[in-house]
A = this chain, B = another copy of it.
Amino acid sequence: MAKNYSSEISNPLSSNHEDYLKAIYILETRGEQVTNSVLSEYIGYTPASATNMVKKLAQMDLVIYRPHQAVALTPTGRRVALEILRHHRLLELFLHKTLDIPWDSVHEEAERLEHVISEALEDAIAASLGYPKVDPHGDPIPSKNGEVSHTPGHPLSQSEAGRTYRLVRVLSQEKERLAYLGELGLHLNAEVHLREQAPFDGPMLVEVAGEEHALAADMAALLQVVPASAE
């Protein structure tokens, strides 16, 4: 069992290297073509810097780079990306459950911690949480050997009115958005009764914990739910 993928690599990866690989992985799984501009915008650096970094990652056999083409992770690159993503999501859950850090703050904290925890600490965290499968936002936690479980659910925006659902995933890391949802009681596993959906992609009327709220359609599209009975 190969544990430390940086051991397969001559010089160790910096935090930024790791964040680039993670970004490419996330963009790939979104189904997007990971063009230079998409990547550079996501990562928050200039296109020139992204090209620069991608070429370095290609030299280390972590990505496939062909000029003017979309970047793609190599198997090794994917393993590194998944390892960092595992750190990230384990840390989010740990910070939330063990230290009561609010779910809208764990992301930025994990963004730094993910690069500096050892294998032993990763294992200790996973064990203390009982080897969890999802983070506080319902994002799947990759397993130690790089498997990602498929998460169930469909957007609340495409659900039937008059039924009750359970929130299983929120497709956003935005602090303000998460804080707002939390205020409405829309945290993970919350029960939502969908009263009605206004036509023309209008707002939805939902009931959460006895209170009624209106949700914009694009907000509801980020909420993945399953029927409440199915548990």
Chain B residues lying within 8 Å of A105, measured Cβ to Cβ, are 120
Number of copies: 2
Instruction: Tell me if B101 and A124 are in contact (CB < 8 A).
Output: yes
Q: Name A113's contact: one of B108, B116, B120 (CB within 8 Å).
A: B116
The yes or no answer to A100 lying at the interface (CB within 8 A) is yes
The yes or no answer to A98 lying at the interface (CB within 8 A) is yes
Q: How far is the CB of A84 from the nearest CB of chain B, in Å?
A: 14
Instruction: Tell me if A125 and B99 are in contact (CB < 8 A).
Output: yes
A120-142 to B contact mask, C-beta < 8 Å, 1/0: 11001100100000000000000
Size bin of chain A's contact surface: 10 to 19
The yes or no answer to A118 lying at the interface (CB within 8 A) is yes
CA distance A121 to B120 in the complex (A): 21
Instruction: Tell me if B101 and A120 are in contact (CB < 8 A).
Output: yes
The yes or no answer to A214 lying at the interface (CB within 8 A) is no
Chain B residues lying within 8 Å of A209, measured Cβ to Cβ, are none
Chain B residues lying within 8 Å of A50, measured Cβ to Cβ, are none
Q: Name A112's contact: one of B95, B100, B116, B120 (CB within 8 Å).
A: B116
The yes or no answer to A109 lying at the interface (CB within 8 A) is yes
List the B residue with the shortest CB-CB distance to A101. B124
CA distance A116 to B114 in the complex (A): 10
Q: How far is the CB of A18 from the nearest CB of chain B, in Å?
A: 13
Q: Name A124's contact: one of B99, B112, B128 (CB within 8 Å).
A: B99
Instruction: Tell me if A109 and B101 are in contact (CB < 8 A).
Output: no
The yes or no answer to A9 lying at the interface (CB within 8 A) is no
Chain B residues lying within 8 Å of A108, measured Cβ to Cβ, are 118
